[in-house]
């Protein structure tokens, strides 16, 4: 999983408009292969929306985190977690603009927007269950 993709959902989730805490819903961000620091372009793309993740530290997902979750989302073709009974695992094969020659901050904006749409859809699904 590309490091920068993991950082977008967490930043967007923490700053979602109208976000209400649900006692039975807890969201966490972690990665299958976390890097040592937050990706600068991820941070910049979120900062454009007023979201600051620069102080965040990437974390590795653990088997216990998977067991404790109702839903685990992996991002990208290379991300994989071992399924655990009782936990729904989905892979979001997100848009990869670099395959179309789009790089840098423009690439991250497209990735950010793709993930934001998916997170918003998942939020609605979870709130209605």
Cα end-to-end distance, the chain, whole Å:
28
- What's the pTM? 0.74
Please, which pLDDT band fits residue 14 given cuts at 50, 70 and 90?
low
Please say if the pLDDT value at position 73 is more than 60.
yes
Q: What is the pLDDT of residues 79-114, one digit of tens each?
A: 999 989 999 999 999 889 999 999 999 999 999 999
Residue recorded with tokens 């590309």 = 2
The superfamily in CATH containing domain 3-127 is Response regulator (3.40.50.2300)
Transcribe 9-25 into DSSP letters.
Answer: HHHHHHT-TT----TT-
The mean pLDDT value of the chain amounts to 84
Give the CA dihedral 93, 95, 98, 104, nearest 10 degrees: -120
């Amino acid at each position: 999983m590309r490091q920068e993709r993991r950082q977008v959902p967490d930043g967007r989730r923490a700053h979602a408009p109208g976000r209400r805490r649900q006692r039975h819903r807890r969201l966490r961000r972690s990665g299958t292969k976390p890097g040592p620091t937050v990706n600068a372009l991820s941070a910049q793309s979120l900062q454009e929306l007023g979201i600051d993740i620069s102080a965040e530290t990437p974390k590795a997902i653990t088997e216990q985190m998977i067991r404790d979750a109702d839903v685990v989302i992996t991002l990208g073709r290379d991300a994989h977690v071992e399924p655990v009974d009782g936990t729904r695992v989905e892979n979001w094969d997100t848009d990869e603009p670099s395959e179309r020659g789009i790089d840098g901050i423009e690439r991250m904006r497209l990735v950010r927007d793709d993930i934001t749409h998916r997170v918003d859809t998942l939020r609605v699904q979870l709130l209605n269950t």
